[in-house]
Every structure is written in structure tokens, then in C-alpha cells.
A and B are shown apart, each in its own frame.
Chain A
């Protein structure tokens, strides 16, 4: 089954404690992205990657890091989480441009930073 898998689904942590949210896709997609969803703000892109070792900032990259060492994986790293990073996070992947830029989303990771 084609899917984007995020882990964990729920996470409660404390300020400053480094964490990683994993994302894996099994569709051999080139593009992968991370978004956060906040009430009244919709979906905002954090980082995206067009291929292995190629990443770029989205609209709200501050406080986040990503890496793309393998095509299927795109982890999101919070080196020193802060309460304003409490949010619902989504990973997405797509084949690429034009009509192929239909992004498939994971089920989400709800993060609370205390």
C-alpha cells in the first residue's frame, strides 16, 4: 500500500530537549515536505526537499532542521524545541512537477512542548 508514514503520532516533550520526527514514503517520490498546521493559520511549509541531499527552506523554517540522506526518508529535527513549536506536523511527498505535484500526506504528528 502506497503511504507516507510518520512517527511518532503523538509526542509530549520539554523545552530544549532535542527530538526527531521521522517520515518515510514507499512511493519512490522525489519531493518531500514538512508542514505545520496551527489554528487559524492553515498549513505552512517548514522545509522541502527535491531530491537526496537537496533541501530548501519553506515559509517557517526557524527552529527546524531536516536531512535527506535517502530518497524514502525525510526526518524533521528540533534541536531545542520551544513552546511555540507546539503544533500538528505533516510530512508529504510527491513525484514532482506539473500534474505530478500531487502531494500525499502522512497522518500527522501532534507535538506538545512544555
Chain B
């Protein structure tokens, strides 16, 4: 049973527009969520995170929104740039992540066209 779901395998947007990547989870015990970005031939790199006590976290062009009642989070990238083209993974953990155990979604491949 997949606990973290990214239902869109791919997303294509125009440069300068907003990219919205979605993630749903099923386990109500998750209390910490992260987004990672992965370029080909590289390991995933941390992008942004949010604790379940918040509903929004912003870092430059990147904003993560959390809707606990819907068990849904989203990553907004504004404005999108060609260098943002990558695979984005949503991840979740329990107990504030104290066990170092992250559950990842399958990823969404974002393509930003010039």
C-alpha cells in the first residue's frame, strides 16, 4: 500500500509560469514532509520541508502548502525556470522524522520549456 502518492508522473509548463506539483498521503501519523529534486545522474537534493504544525513554508521561488485535513501537500514554483526541469520527489516521515525513516512518492518529472 503506497503511503505517499504523486499521481502525476510528468508535468510540462512554460518558462515564467507557475508549476504546481501535488502529493497525497494516507498515513495520519506523518508529521514532517519534504520535497527533493533530482537531476539525471545525480542523487536527490533537498529542496524544502514543512512540519505538520504549519500550513505553508516559503523559500524564494518555492512554496510548499500543507492541507492536513485533505492529507495533501503541494509544491509551487514561481516563476518556473528551465533549470527547474528535474524529477521532484515528495517524502514524509513520522515522529518528527526522529527515526530517519522517510517514505518517498514515485516522483513527478517537471519539464520547463523556454
On A, residues with C-beta under 8 Å from B are 4, 30-33, 35, 40-45, 48-50, 58-59, 90, 92, 94, 96-108
Q: Which chain B residues lie closer than 8 Å to A4 at the CB level?
A: 43
CB-nearest residue of chain B to A33: B100
Selected interface stretch from B11-19, B44-52, B63-71, B74-82: B44-52
Number of interface residues of B (CB under 8 A): 28
- Name 30 A/B residue pairs within 8 A (Cβ), A-sorted: A32-B100, A33-B100, A33-B101, A33-B102, A42-B6, A42-B104, A42-B105, A45-B102, A48-B99, A48-B100, A49-B100, A50-B99, A58-B101, A90-B44, A94-B100, A96-B98, A97-B99, A98-B51, A98-B97, A98-B98, A99-B32, A101-B96, A101-B97, A101-B98, A101-B102, A102-B46, A105-B36, A107-B41, A107-B43, A108-B41
9 further contact pairs, Cβ within 8 A, besides A43-B44, A92-B43: A4-B43, A43-B91, A48-B100, A99-B32, A100-B97, A101-B98, A105-B36, A105-B43, A105-B45
Total number of residue pairs linking A and B with CB closer than 8 Å: 83
Contact B44 A97 (CB under 8 A): no
For the complex formed, measure the closest distance between the CB of B9 and the CB atoms of chain A, giving whole angstroms. Answer: 8
With the chains together, A57 CA to B42 CA distance in Å? 25
| Per-residue interface assignment for chain B, residues 87 to 111, with 1 indicating a CB less than 8 Å from any chain A CB and 0 otherwise | 0010101011111111111110000
